[in-house]
Structures are given as structure tokens and as C-alpha cells.
Structure 1
């Protein structure tokens, strides 16, 4: 697979205040996708910023889809998400301005070290997904319209497959984020599409390993 197909750009959007009063000058409210918060990146940046400026930062986290939906209210100053199609639609609808790429992550396909579907080392994410589906190997989807879920569905579409069946499970608590999804997938010893940062934070805890990457 080409790197660009698996890249996960985390972007920042500045928002319009609409009819809601602008946040006070001594505070900043951020709505973020879950990954940068759980990985500790956003809390560290926020704490450092607050110490330097005296501006208090509050943040809420949810999957990208829910994060953008909440931000449509105009009650947030900044949004951090990672699903370009949803970002572009958000800006086109007039809810935000000044979209910027601020960091990047990348996706990997995690699975049991034994790799029952035999996808290890494949160069195409779509080919790997097709192989998993053909083998009927257990696959866990976050299934919550988050950036990770959007990317997963893009890959299924590229593979020409509508995933369904006993082997394909939509995680009931997918909205809790990539960490929760990874821990659940590890418990099931299944395959999943995951961002590398989440795996790095959990690699000493789970038995799942990256089988398709780069």
C-alpha cells in the first residue's frame, strides 16, 4: 500500500463564534478526536500553553464525526480531527475556517502474531482486507464514524467488499476510542485497522502486532 493511503493527518480548525458569545480572552475551548488526548499529546501542549500564556484550556474528546458535529454549535474555539473528507465538508458548510495540518500519524493493520489469515508483509491494505474477509478471520471495526472508521471503510471500498458476517464485528463501545477498541480486539485476538500511536502506547500491554504497515 502507498503511505499516502494510510496516512492519518491530524488537522486543526479554527471556528466561527456564530451567535454564541466568543469565549473569554482568558480561556480556550477545544473539541478533539480521542487519539491526541489519550496519547497525552494535547494535554501536554495545553498545559505548556497555559503556563506560558495564563490562558486556561478546556477540552472534550470524541470520535472525529461526533467532534465535528458538536463543533457545529459554535461553542468551541478549536477542533482537532483526522478525516479529510469530513473536515472539508465541515469547512464548506461554513462551520470552520483556517484548516491546518499540525501532525501526522499512520495506520497499521493489527492482528494476532500467529496471523491466521496470512496477511503479514502485504503491501496493499485493500489486498490484506480482502484476504481477511476470504478467510473469515475475526475482524473488529470501531464502527462509530470516527476518522479511524472512515479510513477503514475507504479500504473496504477499495477492496470491493461490503463487510458483513459472523467474522466481522462492530465494537459496541467503539465510541470510547482507539485504545478501547485495541484492547477489545486483543481480547478477541482479531484483526483491526488502528493508528500506530495507539499501538505504541499499548504495545507492552497487548499481544496484537502490526502485520501490514508502511
Structure 2
């Protein structure tokens, strides 16, 4: 033996260019949401419960579907969706204007993809690969490809006359409404401060 190890053949380099346009948009949305610090912290801290990561994936798919159902969706509409999902699913009130920044970025990415300009998506993808490592990047890429295939299957089923309401099964279960706790006031007129329960 000469001491040199033989390297395993590497799979071909994956790039957004190899995806269909709808999958390119899915990837762009996914990367934009994964780069949103507030959402990343919510997922890492499981503020949305044990399915926090699944809720983020669901949000990515929901935004892509929003563009399909309502092509005129703008950054303002998208910001409202992001704020509502963060509040409803992760119990987080986002007041740092970052939701608006993420919405603007997604709208900008969509506009570029619609024109066939993948420079920004490629840059986000390269940054993601460097930061997260190859294994994580391949997993993310595969998930986007799989979602794209599932979407094509869903479209075929709809054309066959299937009921469209079936798609609602993909949405994460919503929590029951929270019980409102009335503040306790002692005889001196002071309001008792009650800490929030840890999940």
C-alpha cells in the first residue's frame, strides 16, 4: 500500500439550476426562512412544541402554495402570514420588523426566479452549504425535491376530480384557545405577577 486512501466517488454537485422552477421557488423560500433568526430560535428552542421543525417545513410549503393560489401576493400579505404563523404556532410576537425583511426577500427571490435569474438563489444555497455542511445541505435539497414531486402528484390527483379539501391534512394541529388568567389584586391594590408556564 502506498498510504493514500481511495476516496469514494462523489455524487454530482447539486445546484438550484437542476430543479424545476417551482422547486427553485420552494428552495428559495426554505433558505429564506431557515436564515430568519427569530424562526430558527423558535425551532431550536421548541417553542412550537416537539414538531417545531415540521411546522417550519409546513410554513415553507404553505407560502409556496400561497403564491400558486394567489399569484398577486405581495410583501405586505406575506408579512402578515409570517407574523400570524409565528404568533399562532410558536407563541412568538415578532416586533423587530424582521418579518417584513423576510417577506421582502422572498418576494424579491420569486421575481428573480420568474425571470430565470438564479444568481441570488445560488448565492443563498452556497452560503447555506458552507455554514451547515454537506450532509445538512443534501438533506435540505432532497426535501425540496421530494416536496416538488409530491406537489406534482397532488396536481395530478386534482385533475382526476379528487376533492381539494384533502390537502388540509398537511397543516399542523392547532392548539386549543388559551385560558385567560385574570390578574389577582391584593388588599393593598398591588397586582400579583404570574410567570409564564414553561412548555
The interval holding the TM-score normalised by the smaller chain is under 0.3
Structure with bigger gyration radius:
2
Larger strand share, 1 or 2: 1
